[in-house]
A and B are shown apart, each in its own frame.
Chain A
């Protein structure tokens, strides 16, 4: 007999879902995850989450890219070391373009890496306790209760206006 059971309450309105999240601890259940088809401000507020950390990855990528771009252009120019078209070997005005594009490119790489790391994607395992209706029109709140209290938790959800799904 597993120590705790996960049950998901599915609501068609994110306000109800947010209220459920706030009421769960008082009822003695523990909150696991909230699923939604769109980013919901109400749910995120109810969870009192801090801002995501993706930005730091983006900024790091950008700084690396800025220097990498200039370094690449300056290095390749210095290798040949001949005046071409009357322009200085290290000319910052045109090299700025290379630096700029690399800044954007590496910022984006940082952004993608940050997104994957902070969202913990790809996460195929997380689909074990997930209801496909959560990508449609339902907001799902996954809560855990001790063995034996499943009925209580199901009632709790249903009283708040939601449908219920039980996971092993």
Chain B
């Protein structure tokens, strides 16, 4: 599948770990500023109260939930690429598997912050641990929010362990090629991995099981997240299609983020021979499928809203298309369904600028999809006198900027200090050594 030699693979990837230029530190500092901005806004919210956010009756769930779902969604396609495609023996995933899995771990970290942020009285988060308090009150596992706690913690733990396990052979490569402090650090991190036959025998099997176990998580975790909404009775939320619809949407937005990250990465790190245009094209082709699924879901929701002849349901969907937030619906349809359908044209799939632009559009559209669903559902539900609107406050914008900055901050640090392409998996696809 590739004509690279083992030595070339090692060299290309290890070169990325060289001392970074000043420009790199400027970007890291910029992202750090964003993180501090978000942290500051959150600290302000903890001291002053959750009311500094824009959420109120009737829209009690705003950008904190939108961003939560957004980040969990992005995490899922990393696992799709690294775990599910491994099970399907799709070799084209090897160049991007490492970066995708890293994206998953950092995205889940960002996502996991949001329920915490949204809690307001953050110091009470320990209520969610299964420990009785002074009145012997235990968490209620009948609640979808507790399903979330279990599912997201599981996903974070499993993804981190999967990511680290995949890294171990590569950490050994870095250990063997470095000196001084870096050598000492990677010697510890690589757990003494020597590529011995008994290590590989068990490693391959263990990795296969990891992939097989991470796969049901892709479906179940985002289904659980969708049930935060679907298990309620709010019109526009209470619908059986949510679980697969959210999973497909999550993969759609995650693949877009993969493209958004990989395209600059391959340019800056000169990975063009490793992350080839074929790989990017395959990501685009998968997005055709997810885009169509998402489009089918949009259409089906509207059809059933009409078919059900339920006045409340129909009003909710009529308002979605013609009410105050109608532009969100049109962003959503345009960016998630219509624009990615351009990938049906081979010329668009194989053009890096188009790939990058469309990936940004899909990220934008998928954020708006969560807005339309979350805000649109509660803003306009059963009782007309209770209808209301919502706009995020400055604190929320700062926290949102903080979350994006945190993600890119962590990813930037990762790229320069850890191998961002799996040398081991690339060698497995290479034809020959030497």
Contact = CB atoms under 8 A, between A and B. Distances in A.
Do A and B come into direct contact in the complex, CB within 8 Å? yes
Interface of A: 12-13, 33-40, 43-44, 47, 49, 51-55, 58, 69, 72-73, 75-77, 79-80, 84-85, 87, 91, 94-95, 97-98, 100-102, 104-105, 107-108, 111-112, 114-115, 118-127, 130, 132-138
Contacts of B192: 121-127
B202 interface: yes
A119 B202 contact: yes
- Majority SS at the chain B contact face: helix
Interface stretch (B39-47, B170-178, B280-288, B320-328): B170-178
A52 B204 CA distance: 9
Given A115-B202, A119-B199, A132-B177, 9 more contacts: A44-B200, A52-B206, A79-B132, A94-B147, A98-B146, A101-B147, A112-B206, A130-B194, A135-B176
A107 B213 contact: yes
B201 A52 contact: yes
A124 to B, nearest CB: 4
Interface of B: 5-7, 10, 130, 132, 136-142, 146-147, 150-151, 153-154, 157-158, 161-162, 165, 168-169, 172-173, 175-177, 187, 191-206, 209-210, 213, 216-217, 220, 224, 423-424, 427-428, 432-434
Contact of B130 (A39, A72, A119): A72
B140 A84 contact: yes
B209 A136 contact: no
Contacts of A107: 209, 213
A15 to B, nearest CB: 11
B154 A34 contact: no
Given A105-B154, A108-B210, A135 B142 contact: no
A80 B216 CA distance: 31
Given A13-B433, A38-B427, A76 B151 contact: no
Given A108-B213, A121-B191, A137-B433, A37 B424 contact: yes
B197 A44 contact: yes
B216 A104 contact: yes
B354 to A, nearest CB: 35
Sorted nearest first, the 8 A-B pairs with minimum C-beta distance are: A132-B176, A137-B6, A76-B138, A73-B141, A115-B206, A122-B191, A12-B434, A52-B202
A37 B173 contact: yes
Contact of B158 (A35, A51, A104): A104
B141 A98 contact: yes
